[in-house]
Amino acid sequence: MTTVQEYLKNSGVYEDLSKIISLVAEQAVPIRAAFISNQGYAGSVNASEEQQVAMDTWSDAHITRVLAKSGLVRAVASEEQDDITTFSTSARYSVVMDPLDGSSLIAVNLCVGTIGGIYDGDVLQPGKNLKAAFYILYGPVTTLTLSVGRGVAIFAMDADGVYQLQQDNVQIPEGNLYGSGGLRTEWLPKHTIFITDIETAGGKNRYSGSFVADFHQVLKYGGVYAYPPTKGLENGKLRLVFEANPIGFLAVQAGGAVSNGISSTLAIVPSNVHQKTPVYVGSRGMIEAIEKICST
Ligand code: AFP
């Protein structure tokens, strides 16, 4: 058995980077424990004008506090905070996070996650510069899906709270699952063509409303997760920095691809930490298909 710490050491990851990854991953234990007493809405809205649920604000405050205390982090940017918080300009790494992704599903006890990305230097860099990307999935088992730029590994938390390697060198197969956000009546014609083509070819619809959970099944079985531009929302709903980049980085490291329909979202230099982007992420063939449709 290989623990996440052993994996990071064997991968030659710098000590501080390794410590930050482990530190965030360990917070799965208190976060999971907090679900039971944080079921409702927080009564506040985030920078994207979305209602925050109690677990959004709880996990955001919790992880931010842990990172601040570590002394290892230069800055943190969170989907649940308006601005980037700088801790120490002498520290090397900055963390971006969606502390509780899919939080509206807590009240119905479906899978949710925590997404993280780590940059060497400041926050506003293109996703291709990520030094590490990961997500924790709070399913029947707590798993950590991680890339430090040398492929993708999945770890499962054991009864002692230790992440043990479950699968290394994960590769996205060319499967046929698909899940798309946005109301069908609001989709733009090119997205409708893309989804209709998948359905005609026998694709199976799997969409829960949690990006982490929906992407995880695409990672394992193949297919595509999409949150397209919709009428009136030409940049879709997902955030480039907190959602599209870490998950897109993992997809590419697993042999898949990520795109806004035109080109890779990992090349975009963010101008604003809360900027949104259309997202297509998954098997390479699926992403080639949407880019072909969008180019005509
Ligand atoms: P948050 O719970 O972090 O706000 O994320 C929800 C989300 O950004 C993503 O996880 C889902 O895939 C997507 O929104 C669901 O959106 P719809 O409710 O519009 O399907």
Domain shared by 114 and 217, yes or no: no
- The answer to whether residue 42 scores a pLDDT higher than 90 is no
Average pLDDT of the chain is 97
Range(s) of the domain holding residue 246:
177-294
Domain shared by 144 and 52, yes or no: yes
- Residue the block writes with tokens 């002394």: 71
| In-domain check, residue 16 | yes
Indicate which residue's Cα is closest to atom 6 of ligand 1. 102
Angle between helices 211-221 and 245-253 (to 10 degrees): 10
Distance 59 CA to ligand 1 centre (A): 16
Distance 208 CA to ligand 1 centre (A): 9
Give me the number of domains the chain comprises: 2
Distance 49 CA to ligand 1 centre (A): 13
Structure tokens at 77: 């940017």
Kindly write down the DSSP assignment for every residue of 35-77, as one continuous string: GGG--SEEEEE-TTSPEEEHHHHHHHHHHHHHHHHHS-EEEEE
Domain shared by 106 and 221, yes or no: no
- The answer to whether residue 40 scores a pLDDT higher than 90 is no
Distance 257 CA to ligand 1 centre (A): 20
Q: Which atom of ligand 1 is nearest to the CA of 48?
A: 4
pLDDT at position 131 is: 98
Full-prediction pTM beyond 0.75? yes
Write down which residue in 123, 145, 167 finishes a domain: 167
Predicted confidence band at 43 (pLDDT cuts at 50, 70, 90)?
confident
Q: Percent of the chain at pLDDT above 70?
A: 100
Residues having CB closer than 6 A to ligand 1 are 50, 79, 98, 101-104, 181, 209-211, 214, 237-238, 243
Report yes or no: 128 and 249 within 8 Å, Cβ to Cβ: yes
| In-domain check, residue 172 | no
Domain shared by 130 and 68, yes or no: yes
